[in-house]
Structure 1
Amino acid sequence: MIEILSQTALATVQDIGRFGALRWGVGTAGAMDRMALVCGNLLLGNEEGAAAIEAQVFPFELRFDADCAFALTGADCAATLDGVPLPPWSAAKTRSGAVLRLGLPVSGKWRGARAYLCVAGGIDVPIALGSRSTQLRGAIGGLEGRALKQGDRLPLVPSIAGSPGPLEIGLVPPALAMPLEVDGCAAVRVLPAAEYDCFTQASRDALWSASWKITPQSDRYGFRLAGPNLEPLAPMEMRSHGIVPGVIQVPHGGQPIVQMCDAQPSGGYPKIGTVIEADLWRLGQAPIGSSVRFIETDWDGALAAGDETRNWLAEVRRLLDLYRTRSLGR
C-alpha cells in the first residue's frame, strides 16, 4: 500500500493511456510524459505501461506501507526518502513506513513540470475501458475517477514470479539525451494542419517565429498559449469534428490551444497545426509560465522523430537487460 500524506492537488494515477475509446467520446488520458512513465517501469522490470502516480503540484508526500521497489522519473524534484536525498531518474528499494517527499522541481537546463512515481508491479486500481488511467472529466479510471487526496491508500499489483526485478541505477533523461531547443527555448515539432492555409501569412509566420507562453489556464485538457494573435483570412465557422492530443486549435480570440492528454475527442475550432506524437512528452513537461517554440516539420520528419524516440528506448532496454544479465552472472 501507498498512503498519500500531503494535501495535494491534481496528482493522479496514470498509465500509458486509454486507446480505442474515442468512438464512445472517451479521451486517451494517460501520462503527460509517457517517456518518463515507460522509463520508470523499465527500471523496475514492470510492464512498460504499468500504472504510476503523476504528480504536478509540489511538495508531494506519501508513505510506503510495505517493503517495495520504486523509481522516480520526470521532473527532478529533489526527492528524499526519510530525509535522505535520492537521485532523479533512478530506482531504489524501501522499507515499510518510509516517507517519500518530492519538493519543488529543480531549476536548471531542464526543469520539468511533472514527476512520476512508478512502483514494482504498478498501482493496482480497477481497469476501465482497457486502462487504469484517470480521466477527470468523465470520472473514469484511476482511484474513483478523481485526483488523489490526503489519506488515500493505493494498493500495489502483486509481484509476478520470474519478473526481471528492479535495478538500482539511473538513466539520463531523454530531454538531455535528445535535446530540442530554438534560441535557448524548449521546442516541439509541428505539422501544419487542415486549416493552416486559411490563416494570414503573417499568422503562419508568427506560428513558427514567436515564443508561446504557457498560461495558468493550462492543464491536462489543453495548454492555452499567449503570443501574437493568429488571424484567419476570413471568419470561419466549423462543425465539431474529431480531434486528438497535439492538435493546435485557434479560437476566435486568436490565442492557440494545444489539446493534451485529457482533451475531448471533438471540437469545432480551426486547426492550424498538430504537435507530432513523438514530441508530446516534451510539451507535457513544460512548466506553467515557460515558453515554447514550434518547429515546422513534414510527414517524413514526424516519422523520423518517432524512429529516434523508439530507437532511444530500444537502447535503454538493451542496456538495462545487459546490466541485469551481468548482475545475475556475478
Structure 2
Amino acid sequence: MNNSAIEVLRPGLSTSIQDLGRTGYQQFGMVVAGAMDTFALQIGNILVGNERGAAGIEVVLMGPKLKFLRDTVIAICGANLSPMIDGRSISMWRSQRVYEGQILSFGKPVDGSYAYIALSGGITTPLVMGSRSTYTKAQTGGLDGRFLNKGDVLPSGEPNFDKYGKQLHPEWIPDYNKTGKIRVILGPDEEAFTKEGIHNFLTKTYKVTTQTDRMGSRLEGPAIEHVDGADIISDAIFPGTVQVPANGNPIILLADRQPTGGYTRIATVISEDIPLVAQSLPGKEIAFEAVTLNLANKLYQRRENFLKTLSKIV
C-alpha cells in the first residue's frame, strides 16, 4: 500500500520532523534533538490517536504549505501560526479530518514560535538510533537529516478515522504570551557565583535575543557575576540547564543542546516550564524564580498523569 501522506509545496522556515528525541546515546556524543515543545507534540499525537512519542512536523514561525495525498486526521498544537485548510482558518488543539488534495498553509504568527502538525499514524521516516528526530548538524534522522524542501513527500502510518473532533480543554492550553516567572532549581554550580550574581539572576529580567535557536535560548540583561571565572571541567547538561559564560548572560539549553558543557551551571529550568522558554520569541523578557525539587517533581507528575489520562479517554 502507498503510504505517501503529504507533499511539501513550500517548506517554510526550518520545518523538520521531530519526535521526543534520541535518548540513550549522549555518552557517545549524540545530541537528543526532538521537539522543542514536547507538551504540544504529545497533545497533538493524543488527539489523533497516536502514541505520545510519534513523529510529527515541527513548524517554526513561517509555516510550510503542504498538500495531503490521502484522507487523514490531523491536529495542530503549540504556537498559533494561523493555520488554514484551503485558505480557511482552522482550530488549534483539536483533531480534524482532512481530505486528499486539500492544502494546509499558515498565515501570520499570533503567539509562540513552534507549532506541531500531528498526523494520524505518525510520520514514518526511518528510525535512527530509535528516533525519527531531525538533527541537521549531524545530518541525522528525519528526511535525510535535513529541514524539509519543496517536493518532499512524507510517509505516514495508517490513519485512525475514529479520532477526530477531539479538543483539548482550554484550561490546559498554554498561554505563550504569559509574563509569569520561569521556575528553576538552583545549581549544580551555585557556589561558582557571587551573592550579587545569584541575586541578579533571581530578581532581574533578561531579554531573549535573536541568537536563540534549537540549541538554546540566549538571554541578555544584568550580568551574573562569577566568583572565579566561567569555565568548569566539561560536565553533563540537561534540558533546561542554564549556563552562564564569561559575559554573564545566561543561556537556557534546549532540544539540540550538546551532551556536555564547560560553562558554569547556575540553575535548571523545571520540565513544566521548558516549553514556555522554547516558545519565547526574541525580545520577550524572562524572569526566574527558584523552587524546590519537590515542587518540580509534583508539577512533572501532575502533567504526566494528565497526559496518561488524556490518552485513555480520547
- TM-score higher than 0.5: yes
Aligned to 2:163: 166
Aligned to 2:135: 135
Percent of aligned positions that are identical:
35
Residues 1-330 of structure 1 correspond to what in structure 2 (within 5 A)? 1-106=5-110, 111-159=111-159, 165-172=162-169, 176=173, 185-320=179-314
Q: Is the 8 A contact 2:112 2:279 kept in 1?
A: yes
Q: Is the 8 A contact 1:55 1:115 kept in 2?
A: yes
Displacement of 1:20: 0.4
Displacement of 1:18: 1.1
For 2:93 and 2:158, the matched residues in 1 are separated by 23
Change (3 A) 1:180 1:201: farther
Which letter does structure 2 place at the counterpart of 1:117?
A: I
Change (3 A) 1:74 1:251: same
Bigger fraction of residues in strand: 2
Displacement of 1:297: 1.0
Q: Is the 8 A contact 2:230 2:244 kept in 1?
A: no
Which stretch of the first structure deviates more once superposed, 20-29 or 306-315?
306-315
Which letter does structure 1 place at the counterpart of 2:156?
A: L
Which stretch of the first structure deviates more once superposed, 164-173 or 269-278?
164-173
Displacement of 1:176: 4.2
Q: Give runs of ≥4 in structure 1 deviating > 3 Å.
A: 172-177
For 2:61 and 2:146, the matched residues in 1 are separated by 15
Displacement of 1:22: 0.6
For 1:231 and 1:37, the matched residues in 2 are separated by 37
Q: Is the 8 A contact 1:60 1:103 kept in 2?
A: no
For 2:171 and 2:214, the matched residues in 1 are separated by 21
Structure 1: where are the runs of 5+ without partners?
321-330
TM-score after normalising by structure 2: 0.93
Which letter does structure 1 place at the counterpart of 2:20?
A: I
Displacement of 1:235: 2.3
Which letter does structure 2 place at the counterpart of 1:191?
A: I
CA RMSD after TM alignment: 1.9
Which letter does structure 2 place at the counterpart of 1:208?
A: L
Which letter does structure 2 place at the counterpart of 1:105?
A: P
Change (3 A) 1:268 1:174: farther
Displacement of 1:172: 3.3
Displacement of 1:277: 2.1
